[in-house]
Amino acid sequence: MTDTATFITTLETSLTNLAKQAAQLAHGLQNIAPATKTEQGNLSIHYLSTSATSLNEYAAQCQQLLTKRTAEHFQGLHVIIDGVIARDQALRTEHQIADKFRFIQDCLQRAQKDITTLVDPNAKQTKQAEKPTEDEVPVYVYLFNAQGVQLDTWIKMLSPGTFYDHSINRPIYQEAAHIEGFIKRKSDPMQHAYLIIRVNKKDIIETNVRKDAYDYPLIRVKEGSLLFRKRVSLTHHGHTYLIGDAGELKEKT
- Sequence-ordered alpha helix ranges (H) in the chain: 3-30, 39-65, 73-94, 102-116, 121-125, 163-169, 176-184
Q: What is the pLDDT of residue 125?
A: 43
Phi, psi (degrees; rounded to nearest 5) at 170: -110, 145
Distance CA 4, CA 7 (A): 5
Bridge partners of 250, per DSSP, are 242
pLDDT for res 248: 81
Closest CA to 230 of 208, 201, 193: 201
Number of helices (H), then strands (E), belonging to the chain: the values are 7, 8
Q: What percent of the chain has pLDDT over 90?
A: 55
Tens of pLDDT along 108-152? 989 988 887 776 665 554 343 356 678 999 999 999 999 999 998
Q: Identify whether residues 102 and 183 lie together within a single domain.
A: no
Highest mean pLDDT: which of 26-30, 101-105, 161-165? 101-105
**Looking at 94, 119, 144, which one is the last position of a domain?**
119
Instruction: Using only the alpha carbons of the chain, give its radius of gyration.
Output: 21
**Based on the domain organization, do 158 and 104 belong to the same domain?**
no
Per residue in 191-250, pLDDT (tens digit) is 999 999 999 999 999 887 799 999 999 999 998 889 888 899 999 999 999 988 767 888
Domain range enclosing 145: 136-251
Say what the pLDDT of residue 126 is: 39
Same domain? 20 vs 64:
yes
* Nearest-angstrom CA–CA distance, 248 and 117: 12
Q: Tell me which residue of 105, 204, 193, 117 sits closest to 149, measured CA to CA.
A: 193
Question: Both 153 and 246 in a single domain?
Answer: yes
- Residue 36 scores a pLDDT above 70: no
Give the pLDDT score at 129. 37
pLDDT tier at 38, thresholds 50, 70, 90: low
Domain membership of residue 228 (yes or no) is yes
Contacts 24+ apart (CB under 8 A), 25-34: 25/101, 26/52
Q: How many domains does the chain have?
A: 2
Instruction: Using the 3D structure, point to which of 93, 119, 145 is the last residue of a domain.
Output: 119
